[in-house]
Amino acid sequence: MSGKATATACANIALIKYWGKRDAERHLPTNGSISLALSDLQTVTTVEVLDEGSPDTFSLDGRPASEAEFARLGRVLAPLRQQAGTAAGVRIASVNHFPTAAGLASSASGFAALAAAAAAAYGLNLPEADLSRLARLGSGSACRSVPGGWAEWHAGNDPDGLDSVATRLAGPEHWDLRVVVALVATGPKAVGSGTGMARTVATSPFFDGWLEGVAQDLPQAREAVRVRDFSSLAEAAERSCLRMHGSMLGAVPPLLYWQPGTVAAVQAVWEWRTADLPCFFTIDAGPNVKVFVPAAHAAEVERRLLAVPGVTGVRTSRPGGGVTLSGEHLF
Ligand code: PMV
């Protein structure tokens, strides 16, 4: 067998957050989540099948991948090899097309592109749900980058995670919003999301409250996206973000990803929204603040964010689509 395929996937930002795993091995979440893919943050991955018995090779942005990066590949490649009935290794070349120091993780776009390119290279024509499940095995949030657009990752009940996949709520053209990332710091985070989640689940007395809140946030956000109700989405998304961070504060030892610039940006967004500007924020496991805004107001949000103390730069992105193979939409 010798196939070669190139896939492209967008990063995504969660509005209703994923925080907590019920199965760390399979990346099965304790709760569902809802996200928007970002077209200006993409990973392009080429996978080429080598001769039987050849070891895998993996280059990332033109350099050999680190051991930790390499170790996660097998989670996605092993099930594909099993399904294709081959032991052939692959050559993987992955390039992140992210604006310099975007302050955003590339694992979601990376694993979604890897799953699609590797499946095609091994000659497998997989449905969206299978690719979403495979991407999830690399990094949980990557399953949402397979459908792209406005996507919902269903927590599922199956112990093997067969029903823990993301589906599309709406395409990128559904709602002309922008996401402005306010950069507060761009270095690597002190505690990764996997460790942070495990600590929160194991030690935070607020974790149950976080989960109870998601039950309300998910249907509200789903409906707000459907009818393009900006203020309802703002309410659900900020609540989800703040309760997720609240659950982290209760962990032992506590997790606080925020910097002074994070707090300043949050307070500025609240002020602007009360005064004259429709916008809302979300924050992941890091200090940068992502501000959602109708396209017509994006330039104004950029301008104002740059004046917030502690904000060192802004990067704006449009809604993005799902994974593509050689530029063709798969689903
Ligand atoms: O999939 P991971 O391990 O990168 O975790 C993502 C966690 C958050 O970004 C904080 C929330 C989310 O839903 O993306």
Report the predicted TM-score, pTM, of the whole model to 2 decimal places: 0.96
Q: Is 141 in the pocket of ligand 1 (CB under 6 A)?
A: yes
pLDDT score at 1: 56
Specify the ligand 1 atom closest to the Cα of 17. 13
pLDDT score at 188: 73
Q: Is 107 in the pocket of ligand 1 (CB under 6 A)?
A: yes
290: which strand partners? 181, 282
How many of the other CB atoms lie within 10 Å of CB of 89?
18
Q: Is the peptide bond before 253 cis (omega within 30 degrees of 0)?
A: yes
Q: Is 140 in the pocket of ligand 1 (CB under 6 A)?
A: yes
- Ligand 1 pocket test: pick from 15, 16, 19 the residue with the most ligand atoms within 8 Å of its Cβ: 19
The 3-state DSSP composition of the chain as helix, strand, coil percent (nearest 5) reads 40, 25, 35
Taking the CA of residue 202 as centre, how many other CA atoms within 13 Å lie in the half-sphere pointing to its CB? 12
Q: Is 192 in the pocket of ligand 1 (CB under 6 A)?
A: no
Q: How far apart are CA 151 and CA 14, in angstroms?
A: 9
Q: Is the dihedral of CA 60, 63, 68, 73 positive or negative?
A: positive
- Per residue in 50-101, pLDDT tens? 998 889 999 999 999 888 888 899 999 999 999 999 999 999 999 999 876 6
User: Which residues lie closer than 8 Å to 15 by C-beta, 6 or more apart?
Assistant: 34, 35, 36, 221, 233, 236, 237, 240, 282, 292
Q: Could you tell me the two tokens for 288?
A: 């940068």
- Which residues, given as ranges, of the chain have pLDDT below 70? 1-2, 100-103
- Angle, to 10 degrees, between the axis of helix 193-203 and the axis of helix 207-227? 120
Q: Is 137 in the pocket of ligand 1 (CB under 6 A)?
A: no
Q: Could you tell me if 122 and 11 are in contact, meaning their C-beta atoms sit under 8 angstroms apart?
A: no
- Per residue in 4-56, pLDDT tens? 999 999 999 999 999 999 999 999 999 999 999 999 999 999 999 999 888 99
Specify the ligand 1 atom closest to the Cα of 13. 14
Could you tell me the distance, in angstroms and rounded to a whole number, from the CA of residue 258 to the centre of ligand 1?
Answer: 16
pLDDT score at 189: 75
Q: Could you tell me the two tokens for 14?
A: 């969660």
pLDDT score at 2: 61
Q: What are phi and psi of 291, to 5 degrees?
A: -110, 120
pLDDT score at 272: 98
Q: Is 194 in the pocket of ligand 1 (CB under 6 A)?
A: yes
